[in-house]
Amino acid sequence: MPYYLKENKIELLKNGKDYFASVIQSIKQARQSIFVEAYIFSHDATGIKILTALKEAAKRNIDVYLLLDGFGSRDLTQKVIDEIKASKIHFLFYHPKISPYQMKRISLRRLHRKMFLIDHRIAYIGGINIIDDANVPNGKAPRIDYAAQLEGSVVYSISQSMTKLWKRVSWAHLEKSYVPKYIRNSTVSFPNGTKLSFIERDNFRHRQDIEKAYLHAIQNAKHEILIANAYFIPGKKFERALINAARRGVSVTLLLKGEMDYFLSNATRAFYGKFLKEGITIFEYTKSFMHSKVAVIDGSWSTIGSSNIDPFSLLLSREANIMVLDKSFASRLKKNIEEDIQLGGTEILLKDWDKAHLIKRLKSRMAYLFIRLSLGIANI
C-alpha cells in the first residue's frame, strides 16, 4: 500500500493549453533551479514556447536541467540541440541512439516520465509531453490529456527522484560537472491539505510499485472503478483484478483510445470480448486524440501520471504517477472523465463486437500475439 503524505496542495490541469500556461508561469518565477523530464520534446509552437522560457531562465542564472528520452525525442535536430547547449541549459539524452525495435530489454527501457520541478518547491506530473495539442498523429485535435501541479511535502520525494536520476544519467555521460549539489527540503506545508503519494517505476527498487498501487485500489474497490487510459494492455494480475471487481458487483468502466495511432495499439481490443462478457463497460474515445492515463475509484482514490496500463509502462519504462486520497479532487477528475465520455465516447456493446468487428478482432489478436512474442524474445 502506498504511503501518503499530508499537507499538500494539488491542482488538476487538463490538456496542454492550461498545463503549459501554468508551467511557463512557474518557470518565469523560478529563483534557483528547474528540472525537466520528458519522453517527447517536439520543436513545434508549444515546444518553442517552453524552450524560450527555459533559455530566459538560464539567462537569469537559474540552473536548468533538461533530460529527454533518446527515442521519444529523436526528432530534435542537431541545430536545436546545439542551441539548447549554447544557452547554458544542462542537457542530456536518456539512452540515446537506441532503437526499441531491437528486441533487447535495454532498448525498450525508456524515460516515459513527464515532470517539471521548480525550485524544489513546485512540481508538475502527468501524461502530457512537451508537444502542441494540435500536433496529433491522426489529425484529430485537440489532444486529451491530464496533469497536476503539486506543492507541499510530496514535492521533496519528487525532488529526490529527479535529482537522483539526473546524477545517474550525467555520470553515464561522463558529465560530472553537471551534477547538482545536495538538495535540502524547501517545500511548503499546507495544513489540512491533500494526501498524496508519489509512486515511480524504475528497473531497480520500484519495478512494480505503480502496478501494485493500482491493484491495491482495484482489489479494495466497493462501488465504482473508472479508468481512462490510452494504451491499455493489462497483464494477467490486472486483468483478473478488474474481472473479480466486476463479479463482486463493482461498476467497472473503461475509457480507451478509439483511434489506433500504432498497429500494436490494436492489442487493447483483444480484451474486449472477455471484459464485456463480465459486465465491464467499455467506451472508445473517437472525437479526437486521447492520451489520458488517469483513474478514479470509489470517489476517493485517484491517480494521474505517465504510466499506461501495458507491458512497456508496467515492466520496462521509467514512469511516475501521483496517487491522491481526496474526495474533492476525485470528484473533479471523475467529472472530467465523464465529460470526455459524453462528448467523445462510443460505447462498445458485446452483441455488436461479436458480430460486426471481425477485422478489428483479427488485428487485435495479431497485435497482442506480436507483443507477447516480442516480450518473450526480450526475455521479459
Q: Which residues are catalytic?
A: 112, 114, 119, 291, 293, 298
Residue matched to cell numbers 553515464 = 172
Please state the separation of Cα 367 from the chain's center in Å: 22
Residue partners of 293: CB distance under 8 A and separation at least 6: 126, 127, 146, 228, 229, 230, 304, 305, 306, 307, 308, 321
Residue labelled with grid coordinates 499538500: 8
Whose CA is closest to 241, among 314, 141, 137, 330?
A: 314
> 366 in helix, strand or coil?
helix
Pairwise CA distance, residues 241 & 243, whole Å: 6
The candidate with the shortest Cα–Cα distance to 226, out of 254, 246, 249, 250, is 254
State in Å, rounded, how far the first CA of the chain is from the last one: 25
